[in-house]
Structure 1
Amino acid sequence: MTLTINQVLEKATSVLKEEGKTEAQLDARLLLSNVLNYNRVELIMNKDKEIDATTYEAYMKFIQLRAKGMPLQHIVGEQEFMGITFKVNEHTLIPRRETEELVELALSLLDANEFQRVMDVGTGSGCIPISLASLKKNVDCIGIDISKEALKIAKYNSGINAVDHKLTWICSDLFESVGEEYVDRIDMLISNPPYIKTEDIDILMPEVKNFEPHTALDGGKDGLDFYRRICAEAGKYLKSTGFIIFEIGYNQKEEVISLLEENNYIDIECKKDLSGKDRIVYATKN
């Protein structure tokens, strides 16, 4: 017996609801849209169209993965960020809307006319430097990550978005393997580092703690380990008056500002995200 799109959606929604998924219907629609390569309107217009057995089986495998908690982005293998499509998997943090605000601020601070070089520390999928390189013609970027697997994804993303000629990738534990050729050569250093306290990892949503890389989440005992290291070491690479920009946890503003002050950064500012939470701290090298 074959089922229509509408019947399949009802069944899939029921499966997800039984597993407590709060957006069961939306998840079911998004996954079916992906399998059928339909947009939302096409899905509605073809609601009475029958689905063949092979397609149904593939779709229900996706639904079972979602029922087990796997993020939608890992199931379909991609996420949109800044209007650009990025491949993601279990080796990379899923790009989030809050980080788009980090990129938007960086774009506003970069000079419109002069060539500039940006370094992204903890690049993951490469969403930050690839977005900057795509949206700013006079910018080249360096993406740094400790994970070779994450850098494979970042390199792939730079290729599919046609900016690989503007990107350099370095596998490094922060600055340990960064060459002397970058000393005093960076106009902007940007980072969305791990900032979750180690003890708080276990209370994160299952979709996050069970499927996203802990190396991209765990910021140490107080969540500030990476901010300390970056603030202490970044000045070597930044040009005079270069910018340093951080995404932060909602309750880390004062601590990150103090770390920047201790390392002689000036003109320190904090920007709230769209939900009104402190989200970005940025400063200038003195």
Structure 2
Amino acid sequence: MDVKEILDFGTTILKKAGVENPRLEAEILLSYILDCDRVYFYAHPQEKVDQLQKEAYLKGLVRRCENEPMAYIFGKKEFMGMSFEVSPDVLIPRPDTEPMVEYLIQRLTNDYPKGAKIFDLCTGSGAIGIALKKFYPQGEIALGDISTEALRVAGANAKQLVKGAVTLYQGDLFAALPKDEKFDVIVSNPPYIKRMDMQALAPDILNYEPHLALDGGSSGLDFYERIIAEARDYLKTPGILALEIGDDQEVSVIDLLVKHGYANIEKHYDLGSHVRCLVGEHIEKKS
């Protein structure tokens, strides 16, 4: 088969399976198999695809038709211009998280030019903390997760993508940290899907991404309640707490931040202009 024939075949198969944007996905899959840019297909439609490449492409089509995310098929996902290893043990990094990271890079560079201690809590693949280390190399980064499998992925990504030591902590939220550990910044993208909404998630999320990283309890706020209350014990004064939130959680999470004494609360928006990040400061109370 040549490039045009195999792309037409892939498009038909994905369309029958109900995959959205079947031609685009057929091209993305083939570009991965052939290790080339999608533009190549339009310049070389008659280029032959060898048997091994064809077999790999067909296996990828089968997995995608079963709703497996492309990121797990490839074993990688781009975030902040870096290629992160991903597996079903970790949530796939999303572009909507990038504006929060970009904000933190700018704030850290401005407010802590000589360096800061940063804890990426519920780190998963390590995308947030590792991106901060990449673009703010003077930072001292720690990554924490309850999942040993997730920390293995995060550790591999740190070793591959950044220079300098990155500390890994395995445990339930802050439980793995030494009691006297203090950070300038704690950042987290915790589980925040309401349990009753889990079954309504798209099949590629529900059936493949780790529920441990998605299920935020009955209210979706379980982790925010714990993180916001406990983070004060691990933040320097002043210190910064940055949280990614779900679409309908802005008011509830702000209320929690105010309740626990955080000041100067800021909202930051994702690529769809939704409030996706809330930032609060831990400061000394006025006497």
TM norm. shorter chain > 0.5: yes
**Which blocks of at least 5 consecutive residues in structure 1 are unaligned?**
none
Structure 2 partner of 1:23: 21
CA apart distance, 1:111: 3.6
Question: Letter of the aligned partner of 1:280 in structure 2?
Answer: C
| Distance across 1 between alignment mates of 2:142 and 2:233 | 15
Structure 2 partner of 1:86: 84
CA apart distance, 1:43: 2.5
CA apart distance, 1:176: 1.0
Taking only the aligned residue pairs, the percentage that are identical comes to 37
CA apart distance, 1:181: 4.1
| Distance across 1 between alignment mates of 2:39 and 2:269 | 35
**Which blocks of at least 5 consecutive residues in structure 2 are unaligned?**
none
Residues 74-128 of structure 1 deviation map (CA, whole Å, 9 limit, x = unaligned): 0011010000110101000000011111101111221442210110110000000
Structure 1 partner of 2:204: 207
| Distance across 2 between alignment mates of 1:43 and 1:118 | 44
Q: How does 1:22-61 map to 2 (within 5 A)?
A: 22-61=20-59
Structure 1 partner of 2:167: 168
- What secondary structure does 2:176 align onto? coil
| Distance across 1 between alignment mates of 2:155 and 2:34 | 28
**Aligned: 1:72 with 2:70:** yes
Structure 2 partner of 1:135: 135
Structure 2 partner of 1:239: 236
Structure 2 partner of 1:100: 98
Shifted more, 24-33 versus 46-55: the winner is 46-55
Q: How does 1:113-262 map to 2 (within 5 A)?
A: 113-163=113-163, 165-182=164-181, 185-262=182-259
Residues 221-270 of structure 1 deviation map (CA, whole Å, 9 limit, x = unaligned): 00000000001100111110111000001110111011111111111122
Contact 1:117 1:140 in 2 (8 A): yes
Q: How many residues align?
A: 281
Task: State TM-score, norm by structure 2.
Answer: 0.96
Contact 2:174 2:230 in 1 (8 A): yes
| Distance across 1 between alignment mates of 2:242 and 2:58 | 43
Q: RMSD across aligned C-alpha pairs, in angstroms?
A: 1.0
CA apart distance, 1:7: 0.1
CA apart distance, 1:22: 1.4
- What secondary structure does 1:51 align onto? coil
| Distance across 1 between alignment mates of 2:49 and 2:270 | 42
| Distance across 1 between alignment mates of 2:183 and 2:148 | 23
